Structure 1
Amino acid sequence: MTSETTPDQQPAAPKLGFLRSATVVAVGMAIMNVAAYGFTLFAVRRLVPEQFSAVIALLGLLLIGNVVPLGLQASGARRIATHVGPGREALADALLKAGRRSALGLTAVSLLAAPLLVWALHIDSILAVLLLAPTLGGLTLMGSQLGVLQGSQRWTELAAMYTAVGVGRFAFGAGALVIHPSLTAAMIGVAIGAAVPPLVGAVLLRGSTGGTPAQVKEVLLETVHGTHALLAFFAIANADVLLARNLLDGRHSGYYAAGVIVAKACLFLPQFVIVVVFPTLASSPGDTLRLRRAIQAVGALGICCVLGAYLLPDLVVTVAGGKEQYAALGSFAWIFAAAGSSYAVLQLVVYAAIAQQEKRAAVLIWIGLVTLAIAAFAVLGTELVTGIAAIKTLAGMTAACALVLSAALATGLHRQTAGTPD
């Protein structure tokens, strides 16, 4: 009979190495998130609620479009993490070439979609919407670079890239709003800031060569599958912002946008757990114990966020949008914290599905999105609830939807692994 070492019996050194890696990535991502949210908080104070709501809507579209960079990162990290033997440099080069092709394609699509977005979101500035194109181009280049660093477990350099994301967003975004507090100025700053990370990545990954056209094609094909799942996730994670923009009046959609600051903070706070655990989930797809522990870690952080928002509402309001203008948010800020934390758990499960090459996850999430939209239109569109009550209802719907989807996806992954022969 052979004996196996369980995760509880692992030597101390690997555990300490994991903690060090997680700490390095957590610090880099914390700087990124603090700086990025610093820009958002700066914008909420420099812009009137209607303009700020438009900024949040466009940033939501960036998050949806960012599924292509994230798909490249996840696919590249999985391929590199599972690669055995020589040839990693060629694989990295193929990923970078795939990133350049994807950046050109996404930029073109964004430019073509600009008129439709102006109409759908009721935004006056066509230039602000057009600036989504170069922003997404820069983010796509960065995604391929992050995939190489993550798959190779080059955590310090990965942390440097994440730091560049936040610093670029805040420095140029806030700087543009200082010069001229407007929607267009904000998006100009965001677009310039998005060029900083790929420049840093180009320096870190200089010299990568050898990628063949066949390898580039393989990366792009796998990216399509990973991007599909992430597109579904980010669509549902940002659908409430777009629903609020269309179903609530200008003032209350502005309140909702301020609440989304709380939700997004709770969504991205535990993201370092996903980044560090993903290569292991890819190379050991049957490791359900590690997945459960990751879910527990993300869930515990979420509970802390909800309790903090419930016990310190005045502080949350001050951070989210300023006490006077958004004072009403305090009594229900914890609902947004619960929604963001619920989507953090769902995000982890989605990445686990990508690591296991599980393609059915996207279909389930799309079904959840349709269900959420129908429920929102049925309740808010018919004005069964209005005003502050409508804000609470929509935020509560998103939290419930995320939790149900997380349970369904996690159960499906467990069954898939249980059915895999040893």
Structure 2
Amino acid sequence: MNSVTEPRLSFLRSATVVAVGMAIMNVAAYGFTLIGTHRLVPEQFGAITALLGLLLIGNVASLGLQATGARRLATHTDDGSLAHSILLAGRRTAIALMVLCLLATPLIRWLLHIDSVVAVLLLAPTLGGLTLMGAQLGILQGTQRWTALASVYTSLGLARLVLGGGALLVHPSLEWAMAGLALAAVVPPVLGSRYVRKASGGTRALTNSLLRETAHGTHTLLAFFVIANADVLLARSLLDGRHSGYYAAGVIVAKACLFLPQFVIVIVFPSLASSPGDTAKLRRAILAVAGLGVCTVVGTLVLPDLVVTVIGGPEKYSALGPYTWMFAIAGSAYAVLQMVVYAAIAQQEKRAALAIWAGLMVLAVTAALVLAEGMTGVKTLVALTSGCALVLSVALAAGLHRGQRPAGVQETGQALTPSPEA
């Protein structure tokens, strides 16, 4: 076997392992969402979708830790102290995030018009568990332990389906759904701790350094996830309860298209970090993500009735049938934007967050000014989100410079390249 074929086969094996793990996670997680569409009335489903949107936004701390850990381990040698410091940074971040979430409970209830105090309070332990998981995933991703990484992803999706979906089947209410999600968030860090328990020797200085880098990456990811979930919050605020529920159901399609190509990002991120400015590699990754998006859009155009049946049934959401392809385009556009955002993080491009925040303000103001009532408002909002994501993708990709080394990176040795598990 020649030297060119072997790396390609290794990449395909790794990609397959991660893709399968993430596919199980996403399918199982969407299973929970689909149970919600069938067990809850549109108004209640709009509320749980808004809380899930907040979970996605708050989960940027977990993703920031994962990106920082993976980037550091991909560009530095480690005697165990770096991995241990990543875990310490995860614990400190989890505690801070839980306290912040608890303090923000009254504000969240007011903004999202949610009466249940218990449901909102349960956001805190859920985010705490996800944050601990993020630190562990960063270690597994940076050291290319793909099988272990995939198993943690799988455990998250299955736990959400079994515990969260089971709670809805027993008692279809907001409180029970959030209790199931909180219990599900405990499972991945418990499993992940078995894979990283040998790490030791972390120092306060190294932990603080990781937290500073995590703050920059988290800021960029926060901006992305806020804008990627802003449409649900805008729909909740600007549309009536029934049509915001329709929009929430349509977002199931968009989120499926957003998360479907995520395995591409997971696999290529360490190499983007170790070879910043490699525009050819970034271009291939973007084309892979966009290609998967085209497939999903075609699928919704060919089988709109099946899509409606899957997301909630024609009895409740038949009005969405002609427009599911629009949500597929929106989700695919945000998937491309996510790929570019991670490339910016790998390159330590801090201006990316400012561009995304500016795009969010334009989106929010435009939606408030032009959004109409009924299904016209639903169509207008999804079109606005698609356009915003595409414009930002082009702008951010144009700002990434060829061959630029991330600021602050000091190579201490060869990048870690352990033998792949897959």
Counterpart secondary structure, 2:344: helix
2:144 to 142, 153, 170: 153
Shift in Å at residue 61 of structure 1?
Answer: 0.1
Shift of residue 418, structure 1, vs aligned partner: 6.0
Amino acid at match of 1:330: G
1:419: how far off? 7.1
Kindly indicate whether residue 89 of structure 2 is the aligned counterpart of residue 104 of structure 1. no
- Structure 2 counterpart of 1:173, one-letter code: G
| Percent identity over paired residues | 67
Q: CA deviation at 1:88?
A: 3.9
Provide closer, same or farther for how the CA distance between residues 209 and 418 of structure 1 changes in structure 2, counting only shifts above 3 A.
closer
* CA distance in structure 1 between the aligned counterparts of 2:373 and 2:110, rounded to whole angstroms: 25
Which structure 1 residue ranges, 5 or more long, are not aligned? 1-8
Gaps of 5+ in 2: 406-422
What is the distance in 2 between the residues matched to 1:21 and 1:173? 30
What residue is the counterpart of 1:260 in the other structure? 251
Instruction: Tell me whether 1:31 sits opposite 2:24 in the alignment.
Output: yes
Amino acid at match of 1:34: V
Q: CA deviation at 1:205?
A: 1.2
Distance 1:261 1:162, change over 3 A: same
CA offset digits 1:182-210 (Å, max 9, x no partner): 01110000000000000001111112111
Contact persistence 2:148–2:195 (CA under 8 A): yes
The runs of 4+ residues in structure 1 deviating greater than 2 Å are: none
CA contact (8 A) 2:80 2:201 kept: yes
Q: How does 1:158-197 map to 2 (within 5 A)?
A: 158-197=149-188
Cα separation, 2, equivalents of 1:10 and 1:260: 44
Counterpart in the other structure of 1:403: 390
Q: Which amino acid in the other structure matches residue 417 of structure 1?
A: R
Which among 117, 124, 131 is matched to residue 115 of structure 2?
124
Residue in 1 that maps onto 2:375: 388
Amino acid at match of 2:5: A
Q: Cα deviation per residue 1:381-414 (whole Å; 9 max; x = unaligned)? A: xxxx22111100000000000000000000111x
Shift of 1:375: 0.3
* Greater mean deviation of Cα atoms: 202-211 or 336-345: 202-211
Measure how far apart 1:10 and its partner are: 6.6
Deviations 1:338-377 (A, max 9, x none): 0000000000000000000000000000000000000000
SS for the counterpart of 1:325 is helix
The equivalent of 2:12 in structure 1 is: 19
Offset, 1:223: 0.2
Residue identity in the other structure for 1:251: R
Task: Report if aligned partners of 2:347, 2:404 keep a CA contact under 8 Å in 1.
Answer: no
Corresponding residue of 1:233: 224
Letter in 1 for 2:148: E
CA–CA distance in structure 1, aligned partners of residues 403 and 393 of structure 2 = 18
Offset of residue 104 of structure 1: 0.4
Q: Measure how far apart 1:286 and its partner are.
A: 2.5
TM-score normalised to structure 2 length: 0.95
d(CA) in 2 for partners of 1:103, 1:64: 14
Q: Supply the distance in 2 between the matched residues of 1:61 and 1:213 (Cα, whole angstroms).
A: 31
Report the counterpart of residue 69 of structure 1 in structure 2: 62
Would you say 1:417 and 2:394 are equivalent positions? no
Counterpart position of 1:217: 208
Q: State the alpha-carbon separation in 2 of the partners of residues 127 and 121 from structure 1.
A: 14
After TM superposition, give the deviation of residue 324 of structure 1 in Å: 1.3
Confirm or deny: 8 A CA contact 1:80 1:88 kept in the other structure. Answer: no
Superposed CA deviations along residues 86-106 of structure 1, whole A, max 9, x for unmatched, are x34110000001000100000
Residue type of the alignment partner of 1:71:
G
Equivalence for 1:337: 328
Partners of 1:71 and 1:22 in 2: how far apart?
A: 21
Determine the structure 1 residue equivalent to 2:106. Answer: 115
1:20-66 per-position Cα deviation (integer Å, ceiling 9, x unaligned):
00000000000000000000001110001100000000000000000
- Correspondence 1:286 to 2:274: no
User: Which of the numbers 56, 64, 87 marks the counterpart of 2:49?
Assistant: 56
RMSD in angstroms over aligned alpha carbons? 1.2
Q: Which residue identity is paired with 2:107?
A: L
2:33 matched to 1:40?
yes
Of the three residues 67, 70, 78, the one matched with 2:71 is 78
User: Which one scores higher on RCO, CA 8 angstroms, separation ≥ 6?
Assistant: 2
**Are the equivalent residues in 2 in contact too, given 1:71–1:226 (CA < 8 A)?**
yes
Measured in 2, the distance between the counterparts of 1:417 and 1:291 equals 11
In 2, distance between residues paired with 1:112 and 1:417?
A: 43
Equivalent residues of 2:273, 2:347 under 8 A apart:
yes
